[in-house]
Structure 1
Amino acid sequence: MNWELVKACTVAIATPEGYIQGTGFFISPNGHLLTCAHVVESAGGWEEVRVNGQGVELVYLGDRTCDDFAILQLSGYQGASVPLAFNFQPMDRFLSIGYGRTDFPQGASIDGTITDMNPQSEFSNLPMLRLRVKANSQQVQGGYSGSPVFDAETQRVIGIIAAYDNTEGALALPLVTVRQKWSNLSIFQDINQNGSPLNYDLRGYLSQIQQREWKSPGDTSNILQEILSLLSGSQNPQDFTPSIPLSASREGEVVVLHSSDPPLPIAEPELPEGQVDLASEFYIERPPIESRCYEAILKPGSLIRIKAPRQMGKTSLMARILYKASQQGCLTVPLSFQLLDGKDFADLDNFLKKFCASVGRRLGIPNKLGDYWDEIFGSKDNCTIYFEECLLAEINQPLVLGLDEVDLVFQHPEIAADFFGLLRAWHEDGKNREIWKKLRLVVVHSTEVYIPMNINQSPFNVGLPIELPEFNAEQVLNLAQRHGLNWSFTQVEQLMAMVGGHPFLVRMALYSIARQDTTLDLLLQTAPTEAGAYSDHLRRHLWNLEQRPELAAAIKKVVANTSPVRLGSIECFKLLEVWRCLCGDYVNI
């Protein structure tokens, strides 16, 4: 279990006299150690820090008021390191261990929930993780500074405890912030994921030693010549420069890495499913969409509408919009309607209560529905007052609310018209009232809006509309290269002739090829069959058509004709969505 590994990699940060000042944990098998900057300061500086009685070297020292972390290195360490990640989900369970209690000399564990990530004024408005410690758990104390935040759901360390919070538990610096300040952290991400060692180039760079890899007898003479030159003193080991690019190495040619040219991290292929991790190397931007969204979300009362078929990257884009907003001092709350139970859609009053409580919970504001929900007034009025007087009034920063999978609301017309009308009203209030200028909305959906709505009450004809396009050939080539595939536009065109630029379908192909599960030729041969990589994708759309015979009949009618076919407007909209999901292309029907 990774938690046992994390505990084994966590150590006390002490002074030469043995007084414990805090906690740290190993992030590389070569002794790189992550702790808090203020822990190093309290020890009297890095020169006074002792880990297991041994001194350390300083790699990076931040400022306790803005980037409260330090990277130290324990010379001679050759051991395990913690698995790292840069994202989390609100309400994930976390575990940590620290040296905050003298009666637990081996460290004491704490347990709780990761509630959210929002800017904190005491840390120069840097986004910080808020941790809620269980009532029956050990409480966070001073010696826990520098302790790892282990996400029990992902089995990865995602942050470092920096301060304790008397109201809930603790504040932690997320690793994504550490990476922004110290980019080499990316090198260490998931190096223990599969128990595999670092590649020789990376290991040599981190250890500051010269390494060579012998692959065949053809390498022997070159390596021996280098060794003899070093022994004779005719060559300085610091003067080595690359003889050939890494990607072009051939048998008998030795690749030499200069110490000033750190190797790029190796990105293992990621199984394409769900949201693309914020730190993933496999997210492809589609300019100018991202920049427009990042600009729009900072405007008071703004509304962004993201629409695209399934698996086109909507949730991944929303996550990045919320993250960019958090970097600019906004509070962020992502809500997916997939998390609601069927009973939550029973009536409007129950739905809006759950909506208000969910937002409040993620903001850390206690549930006060009983104080604000008055039966004399309508549900929408109660919901509005709750946001005004209980939620927005309690915060001093803008709030970005990300609403994902709102298609599920479309299925309940008795709720949908009123709920979306409410969002439109709030957006309009944001143009005139200061309290509503705090609220910014990101609404994400896959399908057209079929519910009948007054044009002046719909949120789907205001704000910034974003319709995600497919990848173009250049973007597909970029993605192939990130998977380690030495492709040209010829291979890209072959793949796109089958699946277009649909992000999920493209990534599925590249993942399978990069993992050597198949070849491009074999994938293209089997793609439209039950035995192909897309069988689940095709089966799901077949099931959808079988559930809606009128659409199945319409698509047969379109496919069987070479001339334009007239369809009803709603039928046309629905069919277009199905067609785009299947084929990834826009069509005229």
Structure 2
Amino acid sequence: MNPDEVLLAIEERLLKRKLTPAERIVLGQTWNRQTYDQMAKQSGYGDAHLKDTGYKLWRALSQALGQRVTKKSLLFVLREHLQPLEPSPTPVTAVVPSGPKSGSIEQQYPSGPLPPNSPFYIERPPSEDLAYAEIQRPGGFLRIKAPQKMGKTSLVFRLIKTANQNHYQTIHLDLQTVDQDVFSSIDMFLKWFCACSSQALELSPKLHEFWDVSMGHKVSSELYYQEYLLENKKSPILLIVGAAERLIGHPKIAQDFFPMLRSWHEKSRWNLLWRNLRIVIVHATEIYVPLKIHQSPFNIGRAIKLPKFTASQVAELTARYGIKENNDTLGRVLLDLVGGHPYLVNIFLHHLTAEAVSMDTLLKAVSMPSGIYGTHLRSYLALLQKEQDLAIAFKQVISSREGVELDAVTMYRLESLGLITIKGYQAVPSCNIYRSYFQQQLSI
């Protein structure tokens, strides 16, 4: 097995979760028989941080395998336990026994992004075509914005597939998975950024050869990308930065990192090497970190704001679930109920088909804690109970029939969660189910 296969097997078969970037470095470089000191020099992480990560990782693997795992024994233990991945189990074939007439459909519970070949992915023109075109343009710069669970990552997966078909190299960095320590300074963050970029391109990190404190962190990063990554990979590189809104909480890093990305894009106008870099920034809300207009990357390139499903798109998805009759009626019901929210529409259709629950039963309990959206709604309730300022603001929104004006920061935070839609200067609930549930459950 190669290192990538090992990491995938550990995620899917042993730990049952995604590895953090630091864990990937420790595992990958341990597989290559490197010491912690060597890892630290090449990755930009501190030696102590990597050792602590390794200690916790060996303990987790020991629990998963039922035998002691150490750095020294890792290779032997994994070779013994990890055989080639078995094929995925046959997906559920669901048939609706009552209600709308349906055919059979292969489906799994809708959680997480959809794979590129999923029949349940519904295109929202012209978003996809614009995105595909932008990443194929020399020096392309794309911004994808939408609240949580609106399909941003599913679209990103399709961009990666398009990039692979065009023989591009891909770097996908999701800031949501990054250790908090990485945000301790701009130096630490950019070293992490460059080290992870190297690994994504299957190049050994060589930060010590390019990092020069006297030149500054941004210049060192630029030289690293230009003289090492772009120079070694002659084909286009697609750089995707996911969950960029996380940098809102780290304004000092954001004020250096975002202008740096813009400057790299601008270099593509006259530097052939930089034309090979195509940048995608994915974020759930507006990035309201103070940036000068000529430094911000949020006023350049192609911007795509993923919309909710239209009535015809809901009807199309309904048909793909195997429901052949009354698609338009069901589509209107779902638009009224969940406002065309892709994730919530999929949840409803899954229960209607795979779980064989009648529409009347679903609708009666839909906004109750025990209903099909119970887990989804309770997660929001728990968050709002911790964030009293957001709870108070959202209570105002659901109590008004005409919309409410909120301060910009609160409005964008609620929008990024998907709880509200902004119409002009007014905030309104994203869908009726949120209004109904939180009017009952949100006590302030």
Matches within 5 A, 1:296-335: 296-335=134-173
1:248, 1:428 → 2: CA distance? 52
Give the letter aligned to residue 534 of structure 1: Y
Q: What is residue 54 of structure 1 aligned with on the other side?
A: none
Is 2:427 the partner of 1:511? no
1:54-99 deviation digits (Å, cap 9, x = unpaired): xxxxxxxxxxxxxxxxxxxxxxxxxxxxxxxxxx9994249xxxxx
Give the TM-score taking structure 2 as reference length. 0.73
Cα shift readout 1:201-240 (whole Å, capped 9, x = no counterpart): xxxxxxxxxxxxxxxxxxxxxxxxxxxxxxxxxxxxxxxx
- Shift of the 433–371 alpha-carbon distance from structure 1 to 2, 3 Å rule, reads same
Structure-1 residue corresponding to 2:223: 385
Residues 1:156 and 2:72 are matched in the alignment = no
State the one-letter code of the partner of 2:419: L
Equivalent pair of 1:276/1:283 in contact (CA under 8 Å): yes
Gap change, CA 1:248 and 1:396, over 3 Å in 2? closer
Counterpart-to-counterpart distance in 1, 2:385 and 2:102: 51
Q: Does residue 270 in structure 1 map to residue 113 in structure 2?
A: no
Q: CA deviation at 1:527?
A: 1.4
Structure 1 counterpart of 2:87, one-letter code = R
**1:335–1:404: 8 Å Cα contact kept in structure 2?**
yes
Post-superposition offset of 1:550: 2.2
1:549 to 363, 382, 388: 388
Displacement of 1:281:
1.1
Paired position in structure 1 for 2:59? none
Q: How many residues align?
A: 354
Shift of 1:587: 7.3
3-state SS in 2 of match to 1:511: helix
Amino acid at match of 2:208: G
**Distance in structure 2 (CA, Å) of the matches to 1:402 and 1:562:** 39
Q: Quick check: which one's helix share is greater?
A: 2
Amino acid at match of 1:417: Q
Residue-by-residue CA offset, 1:124-169 (whole Å, 9 max, x unaligned): xxxxxxxxxx9879x9xxxxxxxxx9864xx437xxxxxxxxxxxx
- Which residue is 1:37 aligned to? none
Measure, in 1, the Cα distance between the counterparts of 2:321 and 2:425: 34
CA displacement at 1:472 relative to structure 2 = 1.0
Q: Which whole-Å CA distance do the structure 2 matches of 1:275 and 1:410 have between them?
A: 24
Asked if structure 2 preserves the Cα contact closer than 8 Å seen for 1:269 and 1:514, the reply is: no
Hey, what does 1:425 align to over in structure 2? 263
By how many angstroms is 1:379 displaced?
0.9
Structure 1 residues 248 and 417 mapped into 2: Cα distance closer, same or farther (>3 Å)?
A: closer
**Is residue 92–residue 151 contact of structure 1 (8 Å, CA) maintained in 2?**
no
Task: Name which of 92, 97, 106 aligns with 2:8.
Answer: 92
TM-score by length of 1: 0.56
Q: Secondary structure at the match of 2:106?
A: coil
Shift of 1:547: 2.7
Q: CA deviation at 1:585?
A: 8.0
Deviation (angstroms), 1:361 = 0.8
Identity over aligned residues, as a percent? 35
Q: How do 1:53-92 and structure 2 match up within 5 A?
A: 91-92=7-8
Q: Does 1:476 align with 2:314?
A: yes
Q: 2:209 aligns with which of 358, 361, 371?
A: 371
Deviation of 1:584 after TM superposition, in Å, equals 6.6
Provide the C-alpha distance between the structure 2 equivalents of 1:89 and 1:441, rounded to a whole number of angstroms.
27
In structure 2, stretches of 5+ residues that fail to align are 11-26, 32-73, 96-100, 427-444
Q: RMSD of the TM alignment (CA)?
A: 3.1
Match of 2:330 among 491, 516, 530: 491
Q: Which has the higher contact order (CA 8 A, sep 6+)?
A: 2
- How big is each residue's C-alpha offset from its partner over 1:242-262, in whole Å with a ceiling of 9 and x where there is no partner? xxxxx899xxxxxxxxxxxxx
Residues 384 and 93 of structure 1: CA distance in aligned 2, closer, same or farther (over 3 Å) = same
* Structure 2 Cα separation of the partners of residues 293 and 448 of structure 1: 19
Of stretches 309-318 and 520-529 in structure 1, the one that deviates more from structure 2 is 520-529
Asked whether the 8 Å contact 1:402–1:443 carries over to 2, the reply is: yes
Q: Summarize the Cα distance change of 1:521–1:588 in structure 2 as closer, same or farther, 3 Å threshold.
A: farther
Structure 1 match to 2:276? 438
Aligned twin of 1:582: 419
Partner of 2:304: 466
Report matched runs for 1:2-401 at 5 Å: 91-93=7-9, 152=85, 155-156=86-87, 192=90, 267-401=105-239
Deviation digits for residues 361-404 of structure 1 (CA, Å, limit 9, x no counterpart):
11111111111111212111111111011111101101001111
Alpha-carbon offset, residue 536 of structure 1: 1.6
